[in-house]
């Protein structure tokens, strides 16, 4: 029955358009002339596409009705709905008899099309011309203040509303709550909400969403329960607001409630559920929901792609992406950026080049955001020549493009090039942001450029007026620590604002390990455990510091504390890309399907590099075990297994690219130098901190790592 009605409505609409477009209007027949006005208006109300809109607009001009304020307002609204705000603004400017509706329709259109600054300018012009806004006008402009973060102007409009005694209005009051929530002023938003005489579902949703987006989990849940007690069952948007809390326990409960409420088949809700499970690192649950969606849109495909990429399962990620292509899903900039980020994280250069080709084929090569992702991909695969080539090709670059290049140079050990690019960027008038300084300070740290790094850190506040964050302090403390200036690094940590976090303590602890300052190392380890007592990695660090100091009893106690707290250290793993396919190896993995042939190859490899002068650095194994056991542990390190497999399966002369989840150890670093020389191969190892490019027995880090 619904289908028949839909067909009938479409037929009626088609007939009406044909009648209108074929209508010959006589200037002499005033009856026809005036009777067409309602017809114009009703057709404009139903127009959704640009082509029929332009045809109707042409008929209005031909009919000499272009100055009719009622039709002008309808035209402005329709053009705004189609996203053609420039056309809407032209019609507004040419309208001779503007009324309050004209101003309101234009302002609302600008706000809905995210032209918030222009919307505020129109509102200001209204006030200057003494045109008093009504409730709809004020409700339309309020989102602009929230989105732009202009709290003072938003409060001024709120005062204007109170001063002119507009009275209670649920739409405006809800708009004010939304504005204050977006600005992070939850206390003011809650005060307004409590004073509302009438509330609707939208009011409750806005309040719940405000708490959710500002991280107030308990308050959002309390408000939801209160909403239900007041007799409001909620709707799709209520569920979506709560799902954005990114709490697995809450999300699982909401999932049950969604099924009970009958919203489980709603596309928006399913996508929100997927996002919740992805953000809570439950990618398998997200995939189950994805499979249940009958008509998967691009958003669902891209969300799942992001989830799989985030989980680190590259095989499933690339299979999912290939399925998107097989099903002829039209890729957009977001989906391309997502898969490029996955290639970047995994160091999958071959797949990255394939996606780059798709970027060109899809017509997104000029997109700034996609461009920065392409640069980042090449930089994270240590292909700085290709990254620089694409960077120079781009006609328009934003700060993210510059940041990606600077960070790339820093990770590979080209500190001077990073500083030169930073100087070029500022000389061209591109203002650096917080990320820029993180990138350039990190580059200085990786290359030991202490004086330059400290000068840039000083200029960040004095010249660019950017307050240092924990990330900036981490870079500078790492810079000082690596240079052996442990006292200066420790002093900076103690006086930094905000208070030091886990990253800062970790950087200083690593410096203590490098320079064998065990007393300070133990002190920092304990402070680190107080900050994050449930992280297995920090118990291992504490154990290692004790072990390096020769205090084996304390080292064993730290390991026992790790087990007694039921914590497990993340195992080391390394990946190597062969012909576009990624192969992953765990440390000491003897059950790998290729282990037997890898072991046989490794035995020969060790004989060859030992003849060239390599001696295993057993100090890299911080365990109280015999030397032969230490050598066996080093033999089975994940990067050695991956390199051996890469040498076995790749053609002579090909670059072998390894991605490792942990920091490379001293012994593997030494072994890679000898392998690159003996086998005449370039080895690119991306560990948790940086790149190491080994060629002819030399590493790009110059042993500063």
Sign of CA dihedral 130, 135, 138, 141: negative
CA-CA-CA-CA torsion for 625, 627, 628, 630, nearest 10 degrees?
Answer: 60
> pLDDT band at residue 66, thresholds of 50, 70 and 90?
confident
Q: What is the mean pLDDT of the chain?
A: 87
The token pair at 262 is 């009958």
Question: Where is pLDDT greater, at 363 or 623?
Answer: 363
pLDDT given for residue 562 in this prediction: 81
Most confident of 26-30, 68-72, 453-457: 453-457
For helices 502-514 and 470-482, the axis angle rounded to 10 degrees is 0
**Residue pLDDT, tens place only, 124-143:** 999 889 898 999 999 999 99
Where does the chain hold its CATH 1.25.40.10 domain(s)? 483-569
What is the rounded average pLDDT of the residues 205-224? 92
What is the rounded average pLDDT of the residues 305-325? 91
Polymer length of the chain: 705
**To which residue do tokens 């590493």 refer?**
699
Q: Which of 4-13, 263-272, 534-543, 593-602 has the lowest mean pLDDT?
A: 4-13
**Residue pLDDT, tens place only, 661-689:** 988 999 999 999 999 999 999 999 999 88
pLDDT given for residue 24 in this prediction: 38
Backbone φ and ψ for 408, nearest 5 degrees, come out as -60, -45
pLDDT given for residue 628 in this prediction: 92
pLDDT given for residue 597 in this prediction: 95
The token pair at 28 is 């002499």
Q: Rounded to whole angstroms, how far apart are CA atoms 77 and 62?
A: 20
pLDDT > 80? residue 154:
yes
Q: Which residues contact 171 (CB under 8 A, 6 or more apart)?
A: 135, 136, 139
pLDDT > 60? residue 110:
yes
Q: Rounded to whole angstroms, how far apart are CA atoms 508 and 514?
A: 10
pLDDT > 60? residue 256:
yes
As a whole-number percent, the residues of the chain with pLDDT over 70 amount to 93
What is the rounded average pLDDT of the residues 329-344? 94
Entry pTM? 0.77
The class that CATH gives domain 483-569 is mainly alpha
What is the rounded average pLDDT of the residues 468-486? 93
pLDDT given for residue 623 in this prediction: 81
**Residue pLDDT, tens place only, 8-35:** 344 444 444 444 444 433 333 333 333 4
Q: Which residues contact 433 (CB under 8 A, 6 or more apart)?
A: 399, 403, 466
What is the rounded average pLDDT of the residues 87-107? 91
pLDDT given for residue 43 in this prediction: 65
Picking from 346, 268, 271, 308, the residue whose alpha carbon sits closest to that of residue 584 is 346
Q: Which residues contact 534 (CB under 8 A, 6 or more apart)?
A: 565, 567
């Amino acid at each position: 029955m619904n289908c028949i009605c839909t067909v009938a409505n479409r037929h009626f609409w088609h007939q009406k358009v044909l009648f209108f477009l074929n209508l010959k209007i006589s200037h002499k027949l005033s009856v026809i002339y005036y009777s067409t006005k309602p017809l114009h208006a009703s057709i404009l109300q139903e127009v959704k596409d640009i082509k029929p809109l332009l045809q109707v607009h042409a008929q209005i001009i031909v009919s000499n009705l272009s100055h009719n304020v009622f039709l002008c307002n309808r035209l402005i609204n329709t053009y705004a709905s189609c996203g053609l705000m420039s056309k809407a603004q032209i019609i507004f400017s040419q309208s001779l008899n503007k009324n309050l509706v004209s101003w309101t329709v234009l302002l609302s259109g600008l706000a809905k099309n995210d032209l918030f600054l222009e919307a505020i300018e129109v509102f200001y012009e209204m006030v200057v011309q003494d045109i008093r806004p009504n409730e709809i006008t004020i409700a339309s402009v309020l989102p602009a203040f929230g989105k732009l973060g202009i709290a003072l102007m938003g409060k001024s409009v709120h005062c204007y509303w109170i001063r002119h005694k507009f009275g209670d209005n649920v739409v405006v009051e809800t708009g004010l709550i939304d504005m204050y929530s977006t600005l992070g002023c939850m206390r003011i938003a809650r005060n307004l909400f409590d004073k509302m005489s009438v509330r609707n579902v939208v009011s409750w949703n806005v309040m719940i969403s405000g708490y959710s987006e500002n991280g107030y989990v308990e308050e959002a849940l309390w408000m939801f329960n209160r909403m239900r007690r007041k007799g409001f069952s909620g709707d799709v948007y209520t569920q979506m607001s709560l799902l954005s809390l990114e709490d697995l326990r809450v999300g699982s409960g909401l999932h049950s409630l969604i099924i009970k409420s009958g919203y489980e088949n709603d596309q928006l809700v399913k996508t929100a559920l997927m996002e919740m499970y992805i953000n809570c690192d439950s990618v398998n649950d997200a995939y189950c929901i994805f499979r249940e969606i009958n008509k998967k849109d691009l958003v669902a495909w891209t969300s799942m792609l992001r989830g799989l990429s985030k989980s680190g399962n590259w095989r499933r990620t690339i299979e999912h992406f290939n399925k998107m292509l097989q099903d002829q899903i039209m890729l957009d900039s977001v989906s391309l950026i997502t898969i490029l980020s996955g290639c970047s994280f995994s160091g999958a250069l071959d797949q990255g080049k394939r996606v780059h080709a798709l970027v060109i084929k899809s017509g997104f090569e000029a997109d700034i955001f996609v461009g920065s992702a392409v640069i980042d991909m090449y930089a994270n695969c240590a292909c700085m020549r290709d990254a620089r080539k694409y960077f120079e090709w781009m006609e328009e670059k934003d700060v993210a493009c510059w940041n990606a290049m600077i960070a790339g140079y820093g990770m590979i050990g080209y500190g001077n090039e990073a500083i030169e690019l930073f100087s070029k960027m500022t000389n061209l008038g591109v203002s650096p942001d917080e990320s820029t300084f993180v990138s350039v300070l990190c580059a200085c740290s990786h290359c030991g450029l202490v004086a330059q790094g400290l000068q840039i850190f000083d200029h960040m506040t004095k010249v660019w007026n950017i307050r240092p964050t924990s990330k900036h302090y981490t870079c500078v403390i790492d810079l000082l620590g690596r240079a052996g200036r442990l006292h200066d690094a420790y002093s900076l940590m103690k006086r930094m604002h905000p208070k030091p976090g886990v990253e800062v303590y970790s950087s200083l602890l690593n410096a203590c390990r490098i320079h064998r300052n065990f007393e300070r190392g133990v002190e920092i380890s304990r402070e680190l455990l107080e900050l994050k007592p449930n992280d297995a990695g920090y118990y291992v660090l504490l154990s290692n510091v004790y072990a390096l100091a020769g205090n084996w009893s304390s080292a064993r106690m730290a390991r026992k504390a790790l087990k007694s707290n039921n914590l497990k250290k993340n195992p080391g793993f390394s990946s190597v890309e062969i012909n576009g396919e990624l192969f992953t190896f765990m440390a000491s993995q003897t059950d790998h399907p290729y282990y037997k042939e890898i072991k046989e190859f490794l035995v020969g490899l060790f004989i060859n590099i030992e003849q060239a002068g390599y001696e295993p650095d057993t100090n890299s194994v911080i365990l109280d075990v015999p030397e032969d056991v230490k050598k066996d542990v080093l033999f089975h390190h994940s990067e050695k297994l991956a390199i051996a497999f890469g040498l076995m399966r790749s053609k002579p002369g090909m670059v072998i690219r390894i991605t490792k989840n942990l920091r490379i150890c001293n012994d593997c670093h030494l072994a890679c130098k000898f392998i690159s020389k003996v086998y005449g191969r370039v080895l690119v190892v991306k560990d948790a901190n940086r790149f190491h490019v080994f060629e002819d027995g030399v590493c790009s880090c110059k042993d500063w790592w």
